[in-house]
Amino acid sequence: MHMADALISPSVGCSMLAVTGAVILYSSKKIKEEFDDSRIPLMGVLGAFVFAAQMINFTIPLTGSSGHIGGGILLAILIGPYSAFLTITSILTIQALLFADGGILALGCNIFNLGFLPCFVSYPFVYKNIVKEGSSKTKIFTGATIASVLGLQLGALGVVLETVFSEISILPFDKFLILMLPIHLAIGIVEGLVTATIVTFILNAKPDINAYSYAPSVKKNIFAIFIVAALFTAGFFSWFASSLPDGLEWSISNVTVKEEISSKEEKIYSSLSNLQEKTSFFPDYNFKNDKEQGNIGTSVAGLIGVSITFITIALISLILKKLKDG
């Protein structure tokens, strides 16, 4: 459920990048303060581990389909939330670059959904509330399962909110939510059980594992600050996005069209004067009566334009190739 660049608006993408960027800075500072330098290779190898582990599948009971682990909660339990967050961030960045899995602008969203929410919400508020020092294995198992399930639900909610705020997909909020949450509940339960089984396995095999996760308790008020910051930046960016580019577009299209076309025939001018608004190839259909749109002339203009664009790009590439091959 990686968010893609294609689904987000600049304001959502940039504000999420800004917010997660702040958390990255804070986490790296924390890690430097709290841990010795063995943490650097540890996080690196564990990141590669999660990457590799995600490529091994297991069969989901009863369905026959296959799943894999997400890793956020597992890492948080193993090495503490700050290190886990930074490791997940790195994994997502690599996936975005190497596999184009989730985009570069969408990285902030993905880090938030798959890193921040499990490491800084689900882990401290759920897992840590169930599992205390010296808790029994059953308790650890339960804690890991519930934290994973909840982490994934929150992540799915994040995806829905980011998509809806971006207004690229026109899926309405409620329908999208109803679509996403149950699917991810099912996935989450399986993933939770698997994560919990791995945690118990490791605890049995390496009882001193807790040494890795030694971390001061996450300061909970920090997250209130982050969430306020997130809302604030998101608000700022959307205001910026809604006021500026639209206005710019409107004024430029008006000016240029009038200048270039004013000498033309009256008739053409009247249709051209609302060029961008009314007659563009794919106009703002929301505000229009569909009958009026059946103006064949405009769609033809659009089609011709696109074809010419294609031909131009093809020609340029041919020329480039010729030039390059000498």
Partner 1 sequence: MAKISSALFDIGYIDTLSRQNSLIHGIDTRVKVLTTLVFLITIVSFKTHEISSLFPFFIYPVFLIILADLPFSYFVRKIIIVSPFAVLIGILNPFIDQTIVLYIGKIGISGGLISFFNILLRFILTVLSALILVATSGFNNICIALEKLYVPKMLVIQLLFIYRYLFVLIKEASQMSKGRKLRTFNGKGMGIKVYASLIGHLLLRALNRAQRIHMAMLSRGFDGEIRTASNMKFDKKSFLFFILWSIVFLIMRIYNLPQIVGYFVVIILK
Partner 2 sequence: MSHHIIEVNDLHYTYPDGTSALSGISFRITHGESVAIVGANAAGKSTLLLHLNGFITPNIGKIRIGDFSLTKKTLPMIRRTLGMVFQDPDDQLFMPTIYDDVAFGPINLGLSKEDVHNKVLDALSSVGILHLKDRPPYRLSGGERRAAAIATVIAMSPDILVMDEPTSNLDPKSRRNLIELLKTFKHTKIIATHDLDMAVDLCERVIVMHNGKIVADGSIMEIFQNDSILFSSHLEKPLRMQGCPKCQNSFIEK
Judged by CB under 8 A, the chain residues 67 through 96 that form the site for partner 1 are 69, 78, 86-87, 89-91, 93-94, 96
> Mapping DSSP to helix (H, G, I), strand (E, B) and coil, where does residue 268 land?
helix
What, of partner 2, partner 1, none, does residue 208 touch, CB below 5 to 8 Å by kind?
partner 2
Within 54-172, where are the H helices? 72-79, 81-98, 107-111, 128-130, 137-166
Sign of CA dihedral 38, 41, 42, 43: positive
Please report how close the Cβ of residue 136 comes to partner 2 at its closest, in angstroms.
22
Q: Does 315 bind partner 1 (CB under 8 A)?
A: no
Q: Does 38 bind partner 2 (CB under 8 A)?
A: no
Where b means 16+ CB within 10 Å and e means fewer, 35-72 reads beeebeebbeebbebbbeeeeeeeebeeeeeeebbbbb
Q: Does 146 bind partner 1 (CB under 8 A)?
A: no
Selected from 42, 130, 177, 189, the binder of partner 1 by CB under 8 A is 42
Q: Does 41 bind partner 2 (CB under 8 A)?
A: yes
Taking the C-alpha atoms of residue 317 and residue 208, their distance in angstroms, rounded to an integer, is 61
Please report how close the Cβ of residue 114 comes to partner 1 at its closest, in angstroms.
13
As a whole number of Å, the end-to-end CA separation of the chain is 46
Q: Does 256 bind partner 1 (CB under 8 A)?
A: yes
Nearer to partner 2, 41 or 326 (CB): 41
Q: Does 1 bind partner 1 (CB under 8 A)?
A: yes
What, of partner 1, partner 2, none, does residue 24 touch, CB below 5 to 8 Å by kind?
partner 1
DSSP category for residue 285: G
Reading the block at residue 3, the tokens are 């968010």
Q: Considering only CA atoms, give the Rg of the chain.
A: 26
∠ CA 161-178-107, nearest 5°, is 30
Reading the block at residue 10, the tokens are 């600049």
Nearer to partner 2, 4 or 48 (CB): 48
Length reported for the chain: 326
Reading the block at residue 195, the tokens are 């994560």
Taking the C-alpha atoms of residue 53 and residue 55, their distance in angstroms, rounded to an integer, is 5
Please report how close the Cβ of residue 312 comes to partner 1 at its closest, in angstroms.
8
Q: Does 132 bind partner 1 (CB under 8 A)?
A: no
Q: 219 φ, ψ to 5°?
A: -75, 120
Encoded amino acid at 320, one letter: L
Stretch that binds partner 1, among 120-128, 144-152, 216-224, 272-280 (CB under 8 A): 272-280
Please report how close the Cβ of residue 90 comes to partner 1 at its closest, in angstroms.
4
Selected from 63, 100, 185, 220, the binder of partner 1 by CB under 8 A is 100
Task: List the interface residues with partner 1, window 172-201 (CB under 8 A).
Answer: 172, 175, 190, 193-194, 197-198, 201
Selected from 213, 254, 274, 299, the binder of partner 1 by CB under 8 A is 299
User: Of 89, 67, 85, 161, which is closest to residue 123 (Cα–Cα)?
Assistant: 85
Please report how close the Cβ of residue 264 comes to partner 1 at its closest, in angstroms.
7
Selected from 33, 133, 208, 259, the binder of partner 2 by CB under 8 A is 208
Stretch that binds partner 1, among 147-155, 216-224, 231-239, 264-272 (CB under 8 A): 264-272
Q: Which residues contribute to the site for partner 2 (CB under 8 A)?
A: 41, 44, 208
